Amino acid sequence: MLYLPIILADVYVPGTPGANWSEDEIIIVKAKLQSIFRRGGGYDALHQLYPDGTPGPWENSTFQGKWSLIPTAPKMLRLGFHDCLKYEDGSGGCDGCLNWAGVGVWHQDAPNQQLYADVKFTNNNGLGYTVEVLEGLYIDRNFPLNLAPTLPISLRDSGKSRADLWAYATILAVEYGVETNNIQCDDSTNNDPAQQCHHEQGLSGCKINLDNKMIKFKSGRSDCVEFESNEESYKATKHESHPNAVGNGQQTVDFFAKDFGLSGPEMVALLGAHTFGRLNVGVSLFRYTWTSRGTELFNNHYYKNIILDEEYFFDDTACTKVTDAWGNKPKTKWRAHVRADTPNGGPVHWIHFNYVCPNCVKEPDHGCCSNNPSPEVNFCRPDPGRETYHPSAEGDANVNGGCEAYRFINGVDEMALSCEIGLYYNFNVTDDGIPYGCDGFTQGWVNNETRIAGHRWASPECPKNMLSFPSGSTPLATMFEEYAADQEKWYIDFVDVLEKMLNNGYAEDSLVATPDHETNVVCPRPGPWDYGKFYNCFHDIRDGPYFRIVSQLDGRAVFGSTDASTSMQGKNETCEGQLWYTTDFGNQIINKETGLPLSAGFGVTWRLDGKFVALDDESRIIDLRQGRALDRGWSQTDGATSGTYTPHGGPNQKWTIEEA
């Protein structure tokens, strides 16, 4: 008798459209990705793929210190763009595959050594671990284990395409960045996923209203069929068509028009994604950040930098607003810079300078601070010619020296690439990416014959790029200025072009709308240091039924605090902090007053009985992840905290559920 292998009929087959997503899958995968986006989440997920003692980054000395490779929300957004690149033959688009050439290469930070080939086109380097973590989520319904809810069946085994998962991760990364931005607008102490500084904190235009424009997730993308192996079918054999990182504005326009079908305004809107994340010399030979100390915030600060808005100078983690001597927001300027990493002296960086004092809060003993004759008036000692009030930089005969000078933020300089700043400023570039054609690009800033760094710095004075593409549309430079002035306009336009990007390679009507992943869906964030916490998303529909969780030890009720902790409190019929209801996803118990899940010890996902929490045969409440029991301890006082413990028969683990 011939025995055939059993094949799951729904397992995804590359080259076919991915199956549609159910509402459960939408919500559960959102929780999984939120657990990866959080502070330390990418590390934890990667460590599950490579446990201690197994081959992988932890056993590889070349990985040590390379934290820029850890998966983050900004890397998910970068992956979404790179996945949607066309191939050099014009085929492809968003197909769940990357060409692996150059992935895993690490460059030494060795200026003046000319160790590497001249930089021109980008590649997929730095995305390897991000792809692997998403692959874990794609093929394993439990991944990441114990950090988020489990799927009934893996995405791959239920017919979903990898390309759809990558697109969804891109969308959620943007929304996570917006949510982080909005949290930071209110909370200067927010430290999840990283400590940030916000120029608009407390101002009316700081937040982005996600309700104004939800990013639509559609399914039906097909994974590539030309890949290296069945085990790693996300590694494409074809090479993508990449943009020229050291090109000028015209070259950037040509690329986005040909490969994505974008207009000039759409290109400018899409590049606002560079407000999120940073560059790393080890990955690309490009150093520094687009937005210093704001790399986890999704907002329009990128445009403000490009057009040289006057903005505060953040050079410490306390977010001290460093100004000129008279408290003015500093004037800014761009200078071009090379470090001679390659034979032509490049790659070229554009560095953002602010006219500021030293940071007299961080360095009170600095001479410009300690010798300040009027510290109650001046941030630092004014330069000669500025002893009385002047606007920023006005009256200073030497703006590059003295107490008040044009400075960059050392180590986390704000910078731009030629290919993007060229959409705002009009200049030419040589075939190997050296800009020229404006006053300030003086002879010899990079030696024209040998392309070896000469003066290293140039102070170009380039005109604005008033190119309109297509003819009659708003000029490129004008779009930068509009987006710098109107954050909501930019975000609405960005959403439209992001959706267009994520449809690259597909007919407009070939993708299928999925269930709404945003409306009334909440994903509470535990504290930034709560590494063991469980992430879940659920519909915020507080229509009950509500119940109290009452201890059989002394009749006290479980109370939910605004920090998601729980404690015991005398039963109070009017206290909504003692009322709980259950979620539609993820087996969580939510507090009516705070909207946060019941969290006790490492317990945050519980066995439910319909609309109520379930009690076992000894009246205990059991955490599903570790099988431990909700335990209120033995202290019979208000405020005693709750945790979880090995189940036993004591009354401190026995509960009564009272419907409210």
pLDDT for position 385: 96
Task: Spell out the SS3 assignment of 19-88.
Answer: CCCCHHHHHHHHHHHHHHHCCCHHHHHHHHHCCCCCCCHHHCHHHCCCHHHCCCHHHHHHHHHHHCCEEC
Task: Spell out the SS3 assignment of 208-239.
Answer: CCHHHCCCCCEECCECCCCECCCCCCCEECCC
d(CA 559, CA 570): 9
Beta strands 428-429 and 629-631, pairing class: unpaired
Q: Which residues pair with 569 in a beta bridge?
A: 557
Contact call for residues 560 and 524 (beta carbons, < 8 A): no
Query: Any idea of the CA torsion for 576, 580, 582, 588, to the nearest 10 degrees?
Result: 110
Helix pair angle (23-37, 73-83), 10° resolution: 120
The H or E element containing residue 99 is: strand 98-99
pLDDT for position 185: 95
Query: Any idea of the CA torsion for 511, 512, 515, 520, to the nearest 10 degrees?
Result: 50
Number of neighbours of residue 497 by Cβ within 10 angstroms: 22
CA angle at residue 72 from 317 to 177, to 5 degrees?
70
pLDDT for position 3: 36
Contact call for residues 469 and 250 (beta carbons, < 8 A): no
- pTM comes to 0.92
Give the chain's domains with CATH numbers. 1-112+123-242+507-540 (no CATH), 244-504 (1.10.420.10), 546-660 (2.80.10.50)
Summarised one tens digit per residue, pLDDT across range 45-90 is 998 998 876 666 655 555 566 888 999 999 999 999 999 999 999 9
Contact call for residues 483 and 300 (beta carbons, < 8 A): yes
pLDDT for position 318: 92
pLDDT for position 64: 61
Dig out the tokens for 460 from the structure.
């170009």
Tell me whether the omega of the peptide bond preceding residue 14 falls within 30 degrees of 0, making it cis. Answer: no
d(CA 203, CA 183): 13
pLDDT for position 59: 57
Give the CA distances from residue 314 to residues 201, 291, 353, 409, 411, in Å, rounded to whole numbers and listed in that order.
Answer: 13, 10, 12, 7, 12
Task: Spell out the SS3 assignment of 574-590.
Answer: CCHHHCEEECCCCCCEE
Q: Could you give the 3-state DSSP secondary structure of residue 138?
A: helix
Q: Which residues pair with 408 in a beta bridge?
A: none
Among 164, 165, 159, 200, smallest CA distance to 181 is for 200
Across the chain, which has 660 residues, the per-10-residue mean pLDDT values are 45 97 95 93 90 64 72 98 98 97 92 93 96 97 89 96 98 97 87 91 94 96 94 95 98 98 98 96 95 96 98 94 97 95 94 98 97 97 97 96 96 95 97 93 74 82 98 98 98 98 95 95 73 76 90 97 87 96 83 87 85 95 91 95 94 96
214 burial level (CB within 10 Å; 0-12, 13-18, 19+): middle
d(CA 185, CA 197): 9
Number of neighbours of residue 447 by Cβ within 10 angstroms: 15
Give the CA distances from residue 108 to residues 228, 248, 289, 498, in Å, rounded to whole numbers and listed in that order.
Answer: 29, 27, 18, 34
Contact call for residues 536 and 526 (beta carbons, < 8 A): no
